[in-house]
Amino acid sequence: MANFKTHLTFSTLVGTGYGVTAYMMFDMPLPTCILAGGLCSVSGMLPDIDSDSGVPLRESLAFGAAVVPMMLVDRLQQLGLSTESIVLAGAATYLFIRFIFARLVKMHTVHRGMFHSIPAAVIFGEVAFLLASGDVNMRLYKAAAVFIGYVSHLMLDEIYSIEWARGRLRLKRSFGTALKVWGRKWWPNLAVFAKLAILSYVALKEPGWMDQYQRHVRPHVEQAATQFIDRVIR
């Protein structure tokens, strides 16, 4: 099994290639390419947050708790929230990921379970899409970085499940437990595919929802907030 350093090194190389390719061939903005490369790199740690302890879990959750609130800033601004509300939302998100989500992961996952699967990679990619800012193409580019980094971990696990022994290739017992579509138990499969279905629906509909919100809802929200502040001041 590949260790933490190997996974991180591999996903970093993949992320570097992903960012450089987009910058050189598709004229993506340099900051966006750097961010996408970083997301790909860190996503190489994500499957191992089901390990319950150790460096992958600690580093992945710490990074997620720090980055997710920052990625949410632009999204919350689009909703018309005040600076104070955005700060509070960011703090609440940090605490949720760092403590509540971490505890839920430890309680309800097993190593090499459905966190090591293609559906889980798609789910994390969709979460990145919903968090990312910019137009749809930019958001897809960042989401793809997370998906590719996640899958790089799964591929490396499968490669390390093949060994050369006594003059021939031999498959370890762990072969097939990482790069899979479903697991052996029905409940984790049901939970993952239910999340995948819900997030897929939201990701497909969300750009249209946000456009409608910006056009029809946000002006009323901002007007109501302004009137409330005026009344408080008076």
Q: What is the pLDDT of residue 149?
A: 95
Beta-carbon-side half-sphere exposure of residue 166 (alpha carbons within 13 Å): 2
- pLDDT over 90 at 196, yes or no: yes
Beta bridge pairs of residue 164: 169
96-117 pLDDT per residue, tens? 988 888 788 777 677 667 888 9
Beta strands in 11-55 (DSSP E): none
Beta strands in 14-137 (DSSP E): none
Q: What is the pLDDT of residue 227?
A: 66
- For the chain, what percent of residues have pLDDT higher than 70? 85
Asked whether the beta carbons of 45 and 56 are under 8 A apart, the reply is yes
Q: What is the pLDDT of residue 24?
A: 93
**CA separation for the pair 59, 48 (Å, rounded):** 10
- pLDDT over 80 at 31, yes or no: yes
38-83 pLDDT per residue, tens? 999 989 988 888 776 666 677 778 877 888 888 888 878 877 777 8
Q: What is the pLDDT of residue 224?
A: 67
Q: What is the pLDDT of residue 11?
A: 93
Cα angle value 194/153/190 (rounded, 5°): 15
Q: What is the pLDDT of residue 208?
A: 82
Q: What is the pLDDT of residue 5?
A: 85
Q: What is the pLDDT of residue 34?
A: 94
- pLDDT over 80 at 147, yes or no: yes
Asked whether the beta carbons of 18 and 137 are under 8 A apart, the reply is no
More confident: 118 or 58: 118
Q: What is the pLDDT of residue 41?
A: 92
